[in-house]
Structure 1
Amino acid sequence: MSIALSKFRSVAAALALSLPVSAAAENASVVLVHGAFSDGTAWHRVIPILQDAGVSVSAAQLALADLQEDAATVTRLVELQDGPVVLVGHSYGGSVITEAGAHEKVEHLVYVAGFAMEAGQSLSDLTKDQPAAPWQSEIYPDGAGYLRLTATGISEFFAPDLPASETAVMAVTQAPLKYDTNQDALSVAAWTLKPSSYVIAENDQIIPAQIQGYFAQKIGADVTTVSSSHVAMLAQPEAVAEVILNAVQAASSQ
C-alpha cells in the first residue's frame, strides 16, 4: 500500500468519526465510466480499493451506441449521488465524461488513458488524417455496424500485460462499440470548467502515450504516468485508485 493511499484511509476514517452526518454526506463519491470493448466490470480491481477507503462508488454500464446517450446514462448516475462527484473515464469513456462532466455535481474529472477532446470534435476528427494503427487490423464489424476486437487484438494490443487466461475471458465478454459513435461530436468540453487529472499509460498501443500526454497538457491536468498497457485500471489498479482518491480528497474539500 502506498503512503498516500494509507494516509487517505486514515483521513477518511477520522472524518467519519468526527464530522456530523450531514457534513460527512458531502464527501465526494466516484462514478466510473468504462471504454469501448468493455463494460463496468473493467473497474473490478479499482472498486474494492476505493470502497476500502470509505468512498461511495458507482460504475456506469454504457450501451456504446451513441455518445450523447452514453453521456445521458452517466448523467443519470451522477444525479443519484449525494454531494460532489469525481467522474472517471477510461479510453472512449474519456469522451463521455468530457460531455457529462459539465453537470453541476461534478467537481473533478479523472482521465485514464482517455480521450479529452474539444467541443464540436469527434473521434473521427482525431484520426481522419492518420494512418491506421496496427491494432485496428484486429477490428471486425457485425451486420449492424458494431465493432469488436479479435482475441489477438485483446491479448497483443489491448491488454498485453495481463495473463492470457484473463485476456481470453475479456475477448469473449467484450462489449462492442457502434462504429457511428466515432462521428458523434461533443457539445461541451467539461475540462474547460472543472479541474482534471490524467493517468498516462506509457506502454499503451491503442492510444499512444504521446497522444495522452498531448491531451493532459491541453486540459491542464495533474499527470501520473504508469507502466501499463491501455487497461491501466486492470494492470496498475493501486496507482489508478490513488489518483482517484486524491481527486476525491480535493473535491470533498471544495
Structure 2
Amino acid sequence: MSNSIRTSIAAAAAATLISGAALAQAPQAVKNVVLVHGAFADGSGWRGVYDDLTKRGYRVTIVQNPLTSLADDVAATKRALDRQDGSTILVGHSWGGTVITEAGVHPKVSGLVYVSALSPDAGETTAQQYDGFTTPPEFVIDAHSDGYGFVLPEKFKAGFAADTSDADAAFMRDSQVPINLSTFATKLENAAWRSKPSWAVIATEDKAFDQKMLQSMAKRIGAKVTNVKASHALLMTQPKVVSDVIDSAAREVATKKN
C-alpha cells in the first residue's frame, strides 16, 4: 500500500472520529411545545403561534382547559405532557400561567414560558398575586350565580383584546369560555419555576393585569423578560414575538442539558 493511500485512509478515519465527537457534543434539540390557554378563551387563540412553531419544526400540542378547577386544568395539561416524546417547553397565557406552574413539575418539562401570565408559589393562591396591585378599570368580570365568570361583554375589547380588529374582538367576546371563579382561591401544591428555567413575554398595554404586577411576578420567578407593545391577547396579535421566545427557550434548555 502506497504512502498516499495510507495517508488518505488515516485522514478519512480521523474525519469520521471528529464528526462522531461533534455529534456526541451537539445539543439535543427540544422539539416539543405544549401551549396552555387562560380564562375566558380556548386553545384556538394559539393558532398563530402554532403555525409559526410548526414551520420551525416543532411538535406543538394545544391543551383545551375545561376551566372548571385548577385540578381539572392541571390534569388536562398533564395528559398532553404524557403524550410528548421527550423534553418539552410548557407555555401558559394568563390563568394558564397558574396551570403550568403546578403542572410544570412533570419530568418531561424542561422550561416554562409565561405569556402575560400568573405565577403563584407553592402554598399560594392565584388571587394572592393581585395583593397590592390594582386591576385596570377596562377589565371587568361578570360573575354569575353559579360561580362562573365572563369578561363583561361591553368591556371585552378594551380589557382583553384592544389591539385586535373589531371583528376578531367580537368573535372572542361571543365565544368566551367562562371560568369557575373558585379556582382563584385554590392553593398550589407545586411551583415548577423553582426548579425549571423560566421566560416571560409581557404585553405592555395589558389591561387584564396591573403592569407592575406582571413585572413583579416575572422578577420573582427569575424569568428572562421580553416586553412587547400589545394587549392581553398578545398570543394572537404578537405570535412571532411569542414564538421567538419559545424558540429561544428551547435552544437554551438544549444547550444547558448537554
Same fold by TM-score, threshold 0.5 exceeded? yes
Match of 2:191 in 1: 189
> Is 1:88 equivalent to 2:91 in the alignment?
yes
Kept in 1, the 8 Å contact 2:27–2:254? The answer is no
Residues 235/132 of structure 1: CA separation in 2 closer, same or farther (3 Å cut): closer
Counterparts of 1:141-160 in structure 2, within 5 Å, are: 141-160=143-162
- Give distance in 1, aligned partners of 2:215 and 2:89: 21
Identity over aligned pairs, percent:
37
Name which of 215, 218, 221 aligns with 1:216.
218
Q: Note the alpha carbon deviations across 1:68-96, whole angstroms, 9 max, x for none.
A: 22111101110100110100000000000
| TM superposition score normalised by structure 1 | 0.86
Unaligned runs of 5+ in 2: 1-21
Shift of 1:133: 4.1
Partner of 1:170: 172
Deviations 1:173-193 (A, max 9, x none): 111011111111110110000
Cα RMSD (Å) of the superposition? 2.1
Distance 2:205 2:155 in 1: 15
Give, in angstroms, the shift of residue 129 of structure 1: 6.1
Partner of 1:124: 127
**2:68 corresponds to:** 65
5 Å-filtered alignment, 1:1-254, equals: 27-127=30-130, 133-136=136-139, 138-253=140-255, 254=257
Q: CA deviation at 1:151?
A: 2.5
How many residues get paired?
A: 234
1:79 & 1:250 partners in 2: Cα distance?
23
Residue type of the partner of 1:211?
A: M
Unmatched 5+ stretches in structure 1: 1-17
